[in-house]
Amino acid sequence: MFTSHTQSPSPPLHSPAVELQSVTRAFGNRTVLKDITLNVEHGELFGLLGPSGSGKTTLIKLITGIDRADGGSVRLLGEQMPKLAMLQRFGYMAQSDALYNELTAKQNLQFFASLYGLSGSDRNRRIEASMAIVDLLDHLDKPVAAYSGGMKRRLSLAISLLHEPELLVLDEPTVGIDPVLRQSIWKELLAMRDRGTTIILTTHVMDEADKCDRIGLIRDGHLTAVDSPAALKLKSGTATIEDAFIVLGGGGPA
Ligand SMILES: Nc1ncnc2c1ncn2[C@@H]1O[C@H](COP(=O)(O)OP(=O)(O)OP(=O)(O)O)[C@@H](O)[C@H]1O
């Protein structure tokens, strides 16, 4: 699935963080992503918004190199994907948690920290900082099997933040997380964006979409509109993103 790291020409200096060019993906005879072209710029907080089954997760998997496009090109931080060596350069939170249930949270974090090349005091500092963001510091030594669904989501988010990546790819990061913590996680995401981290995430939640710098509306495998929330509302003559989605995307979002 991944190509191994081979000597490749240096990426262009000012390439976008994520560059999708005419990307398609089919499963059997069903095309689920159709001619997707999109650039996400460095330091941007970009949201992918669309109904269940519209293709958001499939697109995220192509961006991270977990899956390979059938057509078109996917470049991440200037590199053609999929590419194994890129794993250290971005943080990824999948929709289903990839955690070792029999280990404690701390042991899970230590495992992922070692994959990212973190060790010693650096590793401990990053584990503490990431767990503080998701408010799980008091649960470091608990086995993941004893975590609730929302706690597992938060731990997965902490893992994606461990190595302070320049790019974060988050598939529905706040699903199952209560409103208070959701707000504090968003505060942190916006602060990371302000410090220059590029963030691409999927969401079903309209007020989350409103917080993004730009949103891509996806329906039935087509990217139907890409712009800032304000511009999308203006373009569609609507007061809310939900209504903008209906006008620009041809149906309700959830
Ligand atoms: N490995 C696969 N094999 C066959 N079909 C697939 C596969 N992965 C995804 N699909 C199909 O592709 C379409 C898009 O799925 P995807 O998971 O990308 O949607 P989504 O927008 O992320 O939905 P949700 O919001 O429910 O997570 C769906 O119809 C899904 O059934």
User: pLDDT tens digits, the chain, 254 residues: what are they?
Assistant: 444 444 445 555 578 999 999 999 999 999 999 999 999 999 999 999 998 899 999 999 999 999 999 999 999 999 999 888 888 899 999 988 889 999 999 999 999 999 998 999 999 999 999 999 888 999 999 999 999 988 999 999 999 999 999 999 999 998 888 888 888 889 889 999 999 999 999 998 888 999 999 999 999 999 999 999 999 999 999 999 989 988 887 554 44
- CA 163/CA 241 separation, integer angstroms: 33
Report helix angle 229-236 to 241-249, nearest 10.
60
Q: How far is the CA of 58 from the centre of ligand 1 (A)?
A: 6
Mutate to test the pocket of ligand 1, among 25, 27, 67 (most ligand atoms within 8 A of CB): 27
Q: How far is the CA of 140 from the centre of ligand 1 (A)?
A: 33
Q: How far is the CA of 57 from the centre of ligand 1 (A)?
A: 7
pLDDT of residue 250: 57
- Nearest Cα neighbor of 233 from 202, 212, 203, 204 is 212
pLDDT of residue 4: 43
pLDDT of residue 33: 97
What is the number of the ligand 1 atom nearest to the C-alpha of 218?
Answer: 21
Domains identified in the chain and CATH numbers: 18-249 (3.40.50.300)
Q: How far is the CA of 32 from the centre of ligand 1 (A)?
A: 7
What is the number of the ligand 1 atom nearest to the C-alpha of 59?
Answer: 18
pLDDT of residue 180: 87
Whether residue 62 contacts residue 105, with contact meaning beta carbons closer than 8 Å, is answered with no
pLDDT of residue 96: 83
Global pTM reads 0.89
Q: How far is the CA of 27 from the centre of ligand 1 (A)?
A: 9
pLDDT of residue 176: 82
∠ CA 66-113-118, nearest 5°, is: 120
In this structure, the residue with its CA closest to atom 17 of ligand 1 is: 57
pLDDT of residue 10: 53
User: Reduced to 3 DSSP states, what percent helix, strand and coil does the chain have, rounded to the nearest 5?
Assistant: 40, 25, 35
ipTM: 0.97
- CA 136/CA 185 separation, integer angstroms: 12
pLDDT of residue 175: 86
- CA 3/CA 242 separation, integer angstroms: 40
User: Which residues lie with the beta carbon below 6 Å from any ligand 1 atom?
Assistant: 27, 32, 50, 52-58, 95
* Strand bridging mode 79-80 / 45-49: unpaired
Mutate to test the pocket of ligand 1, among 33, 48, 57 (most ligand atoms within 8 A of CB): 57
What is the number of the ligand 1 atom nearest to the C-alpha of 54?
Answer: 21
